[in-house]
Chains A and B, each alone.
Chain A
Amino acid sequence: MTPSINSLRSGKIIYLALGLLALALPQIITNKYILHVVIMCYMYAIAIYGLNLILGYTGQLSLAHAGFYGIGAYTVGILTLKLKLSFWLALPAACILASLVGVLVGLISLRLKSHYFTIFSLCVGLILFLTIEHWESLTEGVRGLIGVPPPNPIPLPGGGAIVFTDLQAQYYLALLCLVFTIFVMNRIINSMVGRTFMAIRNSEELASTIGINVFAGKLLSFVISAFFAGLAGALFAGYIRFLGPPMSHPNMTFEFLLMLLIGGQATLAGPLVGALLVNTVTESLQFMQSYRYVVFGPFLILVVMFFPQGIVGGYYSLRNRIRLKKQAKEALQEIPPVLVTGNTKTKSEELRG
């Protein structure tokens, strides 16, 4: 439905307010630990936006996502630590490498459909993890890459520089990348390209009869999703500065998936909401260690049962229902009483004459 001008304005104001809040956050929060949690949320969110494109909008559940996240991270780690390359060159290289691997994996795995694709992608994810774990000469194996340098300082025109050992600088870097990700996703989803993805999700058969190359569409979506997983991994490497193989394990994919499902797949806000919410809860349940899944398990079941589109999707459908009810009420008041009681001719009959 076309939103009224008022609601459009109020929507813009909300986005503006959220943007300002995000910008001011490091000034508001003085607790370094909380800021660290928020930075991690942003990085996860970027990876989850990728997963949202392939799963939420294109309908293909890929369990290889953490593999691409690992590729992004290790590319930055190896290029900056071993080859002394600048982080600012390693970052795009990481995204490109993740995308290229995405093309190769996609070309093979997307020939399979639905569950078969998912199972195959799980194997791919495991292979990527095992490669990282066992290619010791390159990745240092289980010892991990220790001491990845932080992003190189950016000199400022008036002397001085932005130094990335500083938490606030890291925060703004992550925020910038997150905004870039949301911007790109928003543009793609609200275009014919996004409609193509959604057509494939809704019915592959029908999509192909209206001339959509289903395989090419899935491949494109898969590669873009790998790109953003790579970007998230690259940021992670420059921030945490220690890389171990577990970050690329399928377990990590399931963490992403949990955040996406709770936040709301196929919604633009879902990945961010999911990442913020799940991580905040995770951090506050730290004392429970692995038992925290005792909390998450039932919670996930409740969400899937009552809000299959996650928290954000649930909010939208609730809002729509209220709006429809209001419209129906107004429509009833507008109809003259004669029509309501006497005339039995339906509206469609009237139209046909």
Chain B
Amino acid sequence: MLLNTESLTKTFGGLSAVSTVDFNVKRGEIMAVIGPNGAGKSTFFNLISGFMPPSGGKIVFSEEEITGLPAHAVALKGIARTFQTTHLFPNSLVIDNVIIGNRLRTRMNFVDSIFKTSRARREERESMETAREILDFVGLTEVALRPVDSISQEAKKRLAIGLALATRPRLLLLDEPAAGINFNETESLMHLIRKIRDSGITVCLIEHKMKMVMNLADRITVLNYGMKIAEGTPGEIQNDVRVIEAYLGGNEVA
């Protein structure tokens, strides 16, 4: 098991956005988290990636408890994430965005940079190589030297994933990677996600496009009102009465 949460809970005032969720991701799988709007999926990701401290429960990543660690420390442990709205560093080149992703694997400090020590030179070179490798992997070598603002929405999505990959994670959290892109682009995005999994990185994603989720995921967890209501293979989830209820809202489902 790569990631485990035990009765993970987050309350905002009296409202519980995530309540007592037991959840796990196995090494090497693609796990999807689905649920109606406001089900607490993004909050759940924010808890795992250290953006918010949980109100209760436990998060264990690769046999090590990471509950309450700040975001940068979680990244260092090997969890990378993307955001629902594509987050990139504006006003810089495509390649600059990816180079900085390697920062957490470097040890150089400002003294190294002033004296250009051998460590600084080695790490600068490594960061550049990693960046080129990653851009090649996500298919953005062509636009490496373009300003970020000038590339397409779909390329930005790939770049955001590339930036996350540049941190060399073991677990990649994708928050609605296919939001706002068209059908053809979704296909190539699915191809990329499979390629990431095949390279040995475990993937966990939130997604609303059901066709994509059913095609891509090995397992699916369904959240509703902050609680886990089902978990299983795409086939099991499609026929789960509680899931259909949650999505269609009726109890008169024949």
**Which of B88, B114, B164 is the most central at the interface, judged by chain A CB atoms within 10 Å of its CB?**
B114
Of the candidates B72, B101, B110, B142, the one whose C-beta lies within 8 Å of that of A214 is B72
Q: Mark out the residues of chain B between 57 and 77 whose CB falls within 8 Å of any chain A CB in the assembled complex.
A: 70-72, 75-76
B127 contacts the other chain (CB 8 A): yes
**Which residues of chain A come closer than 8 Å to B114, judged between CB atoms?**
184, 187-188
Stretch at the interface among B16-24, B31-39, B92-100, B233-241: B92-100
Report the minimal beta-carbon distance from A349 to chain B, rounded to whole angstroms: 9
B247 contacts the other chain (CB 8 A): no
Contact residues of A: prevailing secondary structure: helix
Of the candidates B75, B83, B108, B163, the one whose C-beta lies within 8 Å of that of A208 is B75
Decide: A210 and B167 in contact? CB cutoff 8 A.
Answer: yes
Q: Mark out the residues of chain A between 172 and 215 whose CB falls within 8 Å of any chain B CB in the assembled complex.
A: 184, 187-188, 191-196, 198-199, 202-203, 205-214
Decide: A188 and B167 in contact? CB cutoff 8 A.
Answer: no
**Which residues of chain A come closer than 8 Å to B51, judged between CB atoms?**
209
Give B71-91 as 1s and 0s: 1 = Cβ < 8 Å from A's Cβ atoms.
Answer: 110011000110100011111
**Which residues of chain B come closer than 8 Å to A199, judged between CB atoms?**
89, 100, 103
**Which of A193, A211, A348 is the most central at the interface, judged by chain B CB atoms within 10 Å of its CB?**
A211
Q: Knowing A203-B89, A212-B104, A352-B188 touch, does A193 contact B109 (C-beta < 8 A)?
A: yes
The complex places the Cα of A77 from the Cα of B127 at a distance, in Å, of 45
Decide: A193 and B167 in contact? CB cutoff 8 A.
Answer: no
Q: Which residue of chain A lies nearest to B111 when distances are taken between CB atoms in the complex?
A: A193
**Nearest 3 pairs of A and B residues by beta carbon:** A211-B104, A191-B113, A211-B75
Report the minimal beta-carbon distance from A197 to chain B, rounded to whole angstroms: 10
Count of A-B contacts judged by CB separation below 8 Å: 99
Q: Mark out the residues of chain B between 106 and 133 whose CB falls within 8 Å of any chain A CB in the assembled complex.
A: 106, 108-110, 112-116, 120, 123-124, 127
Report the minimal beta-carbon distance from A212 to chain B, rounded to whole angstroms: 6
Decide: A210 and B80 in contact? CB cutoff 8 A.
Answer: yes
The complex places the Cα of A195 from the Cα of B81 at a distance, in Å, of 20
**Which residues of chain B come closer than 8 Å to A2, judged between CB atoms?**
145
The complex places the Cα of A213 from the Cα of B76 at a distance, in Å, of 10
Report the minimal beta-carbon distance from A122 to chain B, rounded to whole angstroms: 26
Decide: B145 and A193 in contact? CB cutoff 8 A.
Answer: no
How many residues of B are counted as interface, with CB atoms below 8 angstroms from the partner's CB atoms? 44
Interface size grouping (class) on chain A:
20 to 34
Of the candidates B90, B92, B123, B167, the one whose C-beta lies within 8 Å of that of A211 is B167
Of the candidates B96, B100, B166, the one whose C-beta lies within 8 Å of that of A196 is B100
The complex places the Cα of A351 from the Cα of B139 at a distance, in Å, of 10
Decide: A210 and B113 in contact? CB cutoff 8 A.
Answer: no
Decide: A209 and B71 in contact? CB cutoff 8 A.
Answer: yes
Q: Which residue of chain B lies nearest to A213 when distances are taken between CB atoms in the complex?
A: B72
**Which residues of chain B come closer than 8 Å to A188, judged between CB atoms?**
110, 113-114
**Which residues of chain B come closer than 8 Å to A198, judged between CB atoms?**
89, 92, 100
**Which residues of chain A come closer than 8 Å to B92, judged between CB atoms?**
198, 202
Report the minimal beta-carbon distance from B53 to chain A, rounded to whole angstroms: 14
Report the minimal beta-carbon distance from B143 to chain A, rounded to whole angstroms: 9
A224 contacts the other chain (CB 8 A): yes
B49 contacts the other chain (CB 8 A): yes
